[in-house]
């Protein structure tokens, strides 16, 4: 079952809708977005929830929204693109209010000199990153595959694990510092992980419609040859970023089971992007239930082959979550 | 709204009547002035009247709805009954009737009318007031789980009701048993003193009275042929400290004897406080020790699993305490954690069964508002 009617969403940019219709849709969507059940979600997560609602309750929504009271004369087929356009605009508004300042000043790029061994014009790197993310987020597929990684960055919960990893100096620390040879402080590692997460979805820019099905395109697992092609193309577009960062970002979409060479930061980004896709901040833990992170890592350990995760990393992250009560 | 207000009033009254019962017993033990104890007795009567009327109204309303049987047996109507009408008939009712009817003529008439025994039954019946605490228990929201509330309610009710009834019936039955209890010795002493003073000659009466008064503290006053031979307290003390049922009167020929009944009522007050403390102790243990245990071992894991089955995005595992892992509930929880959640997660990743967290009811509300 598709996440939402693909054909209609794909053409949303081409739909000529009157501004008043989009504004009207925004009013309705604004009320939907203020639903208490969406509290604790990031803008992209909320967007995904609304799209899911459109899919699962289309038969109930269609007659209500196309009635005289709301959008008279519209059919569900013509109305849905308007709703989606309005939804994307509302999401972008919320998303970029936070993301733009973060990319311009909040994001730490102090790791760059360690990797390039030379001065890097940070301002231009930030501009390139911003432009690329805006491009990724223009397509529905890009938005869906970006939900997890951007939520991980926005919520920031994954970075506390870097602190714990550096304290434990166990498997993940060894993989980062010895195997990947990132001999730098944990703050720099956090920076690398952030950029890896931000660029993880960049592969969708190179997925042509004919290449895969929609589900494949948002599935998040890509093949090695395709990944190398994406890395080369990306390197031409954001040449200021070291190749190793781009490799880390794109390899984060590959299965570790089939590609044992994948960088530790890519493996971590893959896990955290998946974990934060459905993460909800401030969700109370019911009595009798385990903590959210511990539960998630426990389930992920059982599904590690399915998702292509590094089981040893999951084991360590599970231990950290259990010890810290996360 | 009105019903909720009424329920709050009832719970408030239950708490107040328990306080009244404790204070009344303490007043007896501490020998408080009679005018204070009299107010407490009237208050007890008003509470008993209130709960009797409440029971009858509830029963009538349930009957009108065709739910009388349901109310009496499953709705704990039997507790409402035991904790209301018997108390009004055998406890506060006779006391207040006696007070309003002149007091002394009823209570001070002597043991020949067996009224003292009635007074004693009345005191024992006061224990039934503790049953009202069960009504408070029924209204406690200890856990979110309906099952936990029902289980704990059943246990609390059955344990406390058994304790209270066994104590009440046991005390009533034991009082007719022969034996050298404090009460038996008290009555033997009273009987012996009365007989002695009734038989002694006029010449020896005064000396005998003084001798008996020294060894028998409950002897308050002795009169012979209208003249006071002995009185332990002055009339002011008697007027302020003694109520109609704090003493009793005996007559042997021309000799009139007045005895202090308070040692017996003190004993009963001690028993009443003891049962109340025991009931409170059991109640607190069940509510604060057993109820959380039930929640942790039964209702909480079931709640988490049920939520996981119902809500697509809910993926929290059931926390399994290592020492309880062999419990059936936690073996089921282990299956849920190990098998169900991973499959659910994979299915969601593949888009199967994925739904929005927004409930359709909330969306349809938006349309109703326009």
* A97 plus A134 within the same structural domain: no
Percent helix, strand, coil in chain B, to 5, is 75, 5, 20
* B217 plus B323 within the same structural domain: no
Contacts of A298 in chain B (CB under 8 A): 317, 337
In A, minimum Cα distance to B330 occurs at: A288
The CA distance from A162 to A276, in Å, is: 16
Q: Is residue B370 predicted with pLDDT exceeding 60?
A: no
Do the beta carbons of residue A253 and residue A221 sit within 8 Å? yes
Best CA proximity match to A287, nearest among B298, B313, B205, B18: B298
Residue range of the domain that includes B41: 1-299
Residue linked to tokens 């039955």:
B173
In A, minimum Cα distance to B293 occurs at: A288
* Residue B282 Cα, gap to closest chain A Cα (Å): 25
Residue linked to tokens 């224990």:
B127
Q: List, as ranges, residues 8-37 from A with C-beta within 8 Å of B.
A: 28, 31-32, 35, 37
Put simply, the answer to whether B356 touches A290 (Cβ < 8 Å) is no
* A206 plus A87 within the same structural domain: no
Name the residue facing A303 among B295, B342, B359 (closest C-beta): B342
* B346 plus B249 within the same structural domain: no
- Flag whether residue A299 sits within 8 Å of chain B, measured between CB atoms: yes
* A96 plus A186 within the same structural domain: no
Q: Identify the domain boundary among A64, A87, A106.
A: A106
* B203 plus B178 within the same structural domain: yes
Do the beta carbons of residue A182 and residue A189 sit within 8 Å? yes
Contacts of B307 in chain A (CB under 8 A): 286
Put simply, the answer to whether A1 touches B352 (Cβ < 8 Å) is yes
* B33 plus B72 within the same structural domain: yes
Check residue A285 and report its DSSP letter.
P
Put simply, the answer to whether B315 touches A296 (Cβ < 8 Å) is yes
Residue range of the domain that includes A256: 109-326
Encode pLDDT of B150-180 as tens digits. Answer: 888 788 888 888 887 787 777 767 766 555 6
In A, minimum Cα distance to B359 occurs at: A37
The predicted structure's pLDDT at residue B356 = 82
- Flag whether residue B367 sits within 8 Å of chain A, measured between CB atoms: yes
* Residue B361 Cα, gap to closest chain A Cα (Å): 11
The predicted structure's pLDDT at residue A54 = 93
Put simply, the answer to whether B362 touches A288 (Cβ < 8 Å) is no
Query: What is the domain count for chain A?
Result: 2
Both tokens of residue A204?
């969708």
Put simply, the answer to whether A56 touches B355 (Cβ < 8 Å) is yes
pLDDT tier, B305 (very low <50, low <70, confident <90, very high otherwise): very high
* Residue A125 Cα, gap to closest chain B Cα (Å): 33
Could you give the dihedral angle defined by the CA atoms of residues B179, B183, B187 and B193, in that order, rounded to the nearest 10 degrees?
110
Q: At what angle do helices B2-30 and B262-285 cross, to 10 degrees?
A: 140
* A175 plus A123 within the same structural domain: yes
Find the radius of gyration of the CA atoms of chain B.
31
Do the beta carbons of residue B8 and residue B136 sit within 8 Å? no
Q: Identify the domain boundary among B299, B323, B354.
A: B299
Both tokens of residue B152?
């704990």
* A18 plus A147 within the same structural domain: no
Read off φ and ψ for residue A31, nearest 5 degrees: -70, -35
Do the beta carbons of residue B155 and residue B293 sit within 8 Å? no
Q: Which helix (H) or strand (E) holds A185?
A: none
* B78 plus B204 within the same structural domain: yes
Name the residue facing A52 among B304, B319, B354 (closest C-beta): B354
Q: List, as ranges, residues 313-342 from B with C-beta within 8 Å of A.
A: 313, 315-319, 337-338, 341-342
The predicted structure's pLDDT at residue A14 = 46
Other beta carbons less than 10 A from residue B103's beta carbon: 15
- Flag whether residue B5 sits within 8 Å of chain A, measured between CB atoms: no
* Residue B46 Cα, gap to closest chain A Cα (Å): 44
Both tokens of residue B142?
């200890």
- Flag whether residue B207 sits within 8 Å of chain A, measured between CB atoms: no
Whether B366 is in a domain gets the answer yes
Where b means 16+ CB within 10 Å and e means fewer, A162-175 reads: bebbbeeeeebbeb
Task: Look at residue A253 and give its three-state secondary structure.
Answer: coil
**Tens-level pLDDT at each residue, chain A (326 residues):** 333 444 344 444 444 556 688 899 999 999 999 988 898 899 999 999 999 999 989 999 999 999 888 888 889 999 999 999 999 999 999 999 999 999 999 999 999 998 988 888 999 999 999 999 999 999 999 999 999 999 999 999 899 999 999 999 999 999 999 999 999 999 999 999 999 999 999 999 998 755 555 555 555 678 889 999 999 999 999 989 999 999 999 999 999 998 999 999 999 999 999 999 989 888 889 999 999 999 999 999 999 999 999 999 999 999 999 999 99
* B181 plus B241 within the same structural domain: yes
Name the residue facing B318 among A57, A64, A288 (closest C-beta): A288
Question: Cα dist. B77→B74, B80, B183 in Å?
Answer: 8, 5, 36
Mutation target for B interface from A288, A294, A295: give the one with most B CBs within 10 A: A288
HEC string of A55-108 equals HHCHHHHHHHHCCCCCCCCCCHHHHHHHHHHHHHHHHHHHHHHHHHHHHHHHCC
* Residue A192 Cα, gap to closest chain B Cα (Å): 27
The CA distance from B57 to B63, in Å, is: 10
Other beta carbons less than 10 A from residue A96's beta carbon: 17
* B284 plus B258 within the same structural domain: yes
* B70 plus B175 within the same structural domain: yes
* A22 plus A131 within the same structural domain: no
Strand partners, B222: B230, B257
Put simply, the answer to whether B351 touches A294 (Cβ < 8 Å) is no
- Flag whether residue B164 sits within 8 Å of chain A, measured between CB atoms: no
Best CA proximity match to B147, nearest among B27, B254, B293, B298: B298
pLDDT tier, B125 (very low <50, low <70, confident <90, very high otherwise): low
* A142 plus A77 within the same structural domain: no
The predicted structure's pLDDT at residue B126 = 66
The CA distance from B356 to A51, in Å, is: 8
Query: Which has more pLDDT, B125 or A264?
Result: A264
* A79 plus A144 within the same structural domain: no
Best CA proximity match to B258, nearest among B303, B212, B302, B301: B212
In B, minimum Cα distance to A322 occurs at: B319
Q: Which residues contact B14 (CB under 8 A, 6 or more apart)?
A: B132, B133, B135, B136
Do the beta carbons of residue B320 and residue B334 sit within 8 Å? yes
Do the beta carbons of residue B71 and residue B59 sit within 8 Å? yes
Order of all β-strands in the sheet with B255-260 = B227-231, B219-224, B255-260, B247-252
Query: Which has more pLDDT, B256 or B353?
Result: B256
Encode pLDDT of B8-58 as tens digits. Answer: 888 888 889 889 989 999 999 999 999 999 999 999 999 999 999 999 999
* A130 plus A240 within the same structural domain: yes
Distance of CA A284 to the CA centre of its chain: 23
Residue linked to tokens 């990306």:
A234
Q: Identify the domain boundary among A80, A106, A132.
A: A106
The predicted structure's pLDDT at residue B313 = 83
Query: What is the domain count for chain B?
Result: 2
Best CA proximity match to B91, nearest among B12, B190, B172, B158: B172
Q: Identify the domain boundary among A69, A88, A106.
A: A106
Do the beta carbons of residue B300 and residue A287 sit within 8 Å? yes
Name the residue facing B317 among A32, A53, A298 (closest C-beta): A298
* A222 plus A283 within the same structural domain: yes
Do the beta carbons of residue A32 and residue A50 sit within 8 Å? yes
* Residue B346 Cα, gap to closest chain A Cα (Å): 8
* B241 plus B322 within the same structural domain: no
Name the residue facing A288 among B296, B358, B367 (closest C-beta): B296
Q: Which residues contact B365 (CB under 8 A, 6 or more apart)?
A: none
Q: Identify the domain boundary among B244, B265, B299.
A: B299
Question: Cα dist. A138→A81, A194, A302 in Å?
Answer: 14, 21, 34
Whether B196 is in a domain gets the answer yes
Put simply, the answer to whether A52 touches B355 (Cβ < 8 Å) is yes
* B130 plus B204 within the same structural domain: yes
Whether B340 is in a domain gets the answer yes
Other beta carbons less than 10 A from residue A294's beta carbon: 24
* B82 plus B229 within the same structural domain: yes
- Flag whether residue B298 sits within 8 Å of chain A, measured between CB atoms: no
Alpha helix (H) ranges present in chain A?
6-10, 19-33, 43-56, 58-65, 76-101, 112-116, 122-136, 140-155, 159-168, 171-174, 186-199, 214-219, 224-237, 243-251, 264-277, 292-302, 304-307, 311-324
Q: List, as ranges, residues 156-175 from A with C-beta within 8 Å of B.
A: none
- Flag whether residue A52 sits within 8 Å of chain B, measured between CB atoms: yes
Find the radius of gyration of the CA atoms of chain A.
21
* A120 plus A263 within the same structural domain: yes
Residue A261: half-sphere exposure toward Cβ, Cα within 13 Å:
4
In A, minimum Cα distance to B294 occurs at: A288
* B340 plus B228 within the same structural domain: no
* A96 plus A2 within the same structural domain: yes
Best CA proximity match to A83, nearest among A137, A133, A150, A8: A8
Tell me whether residue A267 is exposed, middle or buried, using C-beta atoms within 10 angstroms of its C-beta: 0 to 12, 13 to 18, 19 or more. Answer: buried
Both tokens of residue A228?
């190398």
């Amino acid at each position: 079952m598709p996440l939402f009617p693909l054909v209609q969403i794909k053409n949303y940019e081409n739909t000529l809708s009157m501004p008043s219709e989009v504004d009207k849709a925004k009013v309705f969507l604004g009320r939907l977005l203020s639903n208490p059940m969406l509290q604790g979600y990031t803008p992209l997560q909320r967007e995904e929830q609304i799209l899911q609602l459109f899919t699962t309750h289309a038969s109930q929504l269609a007659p209500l929204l196309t009635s005289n009271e709301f959008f008279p004369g519209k059919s569900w087929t013509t109305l849905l693109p308007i709703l989606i356009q309005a939804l994307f605009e509302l999401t972008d508004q919320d998303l970029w209010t936070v993301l733009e300042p973060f990319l311009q000043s909040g994001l730490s790029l102090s790791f760059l000199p360690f990797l390039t061994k030379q001065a890097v014009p940070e301002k231009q790197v930030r501009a390139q990153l911003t432009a690329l993310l805006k491009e990724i987020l223009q397509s529905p597929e890009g938005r869906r595959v970006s939900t997890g990684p951007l939520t991980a960055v926005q919520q920031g919960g994954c970075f506390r694990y870097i602190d714990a990893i550096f304290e434990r100096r166990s498997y993940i620390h060894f993989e980062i510092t010895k195997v990947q040879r990132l001999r730098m402080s944990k703050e720099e590692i956090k920076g690398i992980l952030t950029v890896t997460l931000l660029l993880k979805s960049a592969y969708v820019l190179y997925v042509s419609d004919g290449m895969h099905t929609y589900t494949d395109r948002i599935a998040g697992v890509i093949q090695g040859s395709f990944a190398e092609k994406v890395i080369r193309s990306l390197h031409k577009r954001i040449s200021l970023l070291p190749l190793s960062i781009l490799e880390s970002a794109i390899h984060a979409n590959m299965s570790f089971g089939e590609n044992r060479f994948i960088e530790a930061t890519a493996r971590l980004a893959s896990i955290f992007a998946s974990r934060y896709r459905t993460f909800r901040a401030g969700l109370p833990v019911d009595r009798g239930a385990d903590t959210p992170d511990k539960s998630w890592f426990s389930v992920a350990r059982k599904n590690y082959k399915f998702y292509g995760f590094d089981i040893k990393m999951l084991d360590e992250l599970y231990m950290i979550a259990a010890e810290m009560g996360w | 709204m009105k019903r909720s207000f009424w329920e709050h009033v009832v719970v408030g009254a239950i708490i107040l009547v328990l306080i009244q019962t404790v204070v009344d017993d303490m007043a007896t033990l501490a020998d408080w002035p009679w005018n204070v104890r009299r107010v407490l007795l009237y208050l007890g009567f008003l509470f008993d009247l209130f709960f009797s009327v409440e029971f009858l109204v509830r029963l009538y309303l349930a009957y009108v709805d065709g739910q009388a049987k349901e109310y009496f047996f499953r709705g704990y109507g039997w507790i409402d009954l035991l904790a209301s009408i018997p108390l009004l008939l055998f406890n506060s009712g006779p006391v207040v009737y006696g007070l309003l009817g002149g007091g002394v003529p009823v209570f001070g008439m002597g043991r020949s009318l067996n009224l003292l025994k009635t007074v004693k039954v009345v005191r024992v019946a006061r224990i039934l007031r503790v049953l009202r605490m069960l009504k408070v228990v029924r209204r406690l929201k200890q856990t979110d789980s309906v099952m936990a509330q029902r289980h704990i309610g059943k246990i609390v009710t059955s344990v406390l009701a058994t304790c209270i009834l066994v104590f009440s019936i046991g005390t009533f039955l034991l009082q007719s048993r022969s034996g050298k209890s404090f009460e038996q010795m008290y009555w033997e002493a009273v009987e012996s003193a009365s007989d002695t003073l009734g038989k002694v000659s006029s010449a020896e009466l005064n000396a005998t009275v003084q001798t008996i008064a020294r060894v028998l503290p409950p002897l308050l006053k002795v009169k012979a042929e209208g003249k006071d031979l002995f009185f332990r307290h002055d009339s002011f003390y008697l007027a302020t400290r003694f109520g109609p049922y704090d003493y009793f009167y005996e007559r042997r020929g021309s000799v009139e004897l007045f005895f202090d009944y308070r040692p017996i009522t003190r004993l009963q007050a001690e028993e009443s406080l003891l049962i109340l403390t025991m009931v409170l102790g059991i109640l607190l243990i069940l509510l604060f020790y057993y109820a959380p245990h039930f929640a942790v071992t039964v209702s909480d894991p079931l709640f988490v699993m049920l939520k996981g089955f119902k809500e697509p995005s809910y993926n929290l595992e059931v926390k399994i305490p290592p020492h309880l892992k062999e419990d059936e509930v936690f073996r089921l929880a282990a299956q849920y954690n190990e098998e169900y959640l991973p499959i659910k997660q994979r299915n969601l990743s593949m888009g199967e069964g994925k739904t929005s967290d927004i409930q359709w009811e909330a969306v349809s509300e938006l349309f109703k508002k326009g």
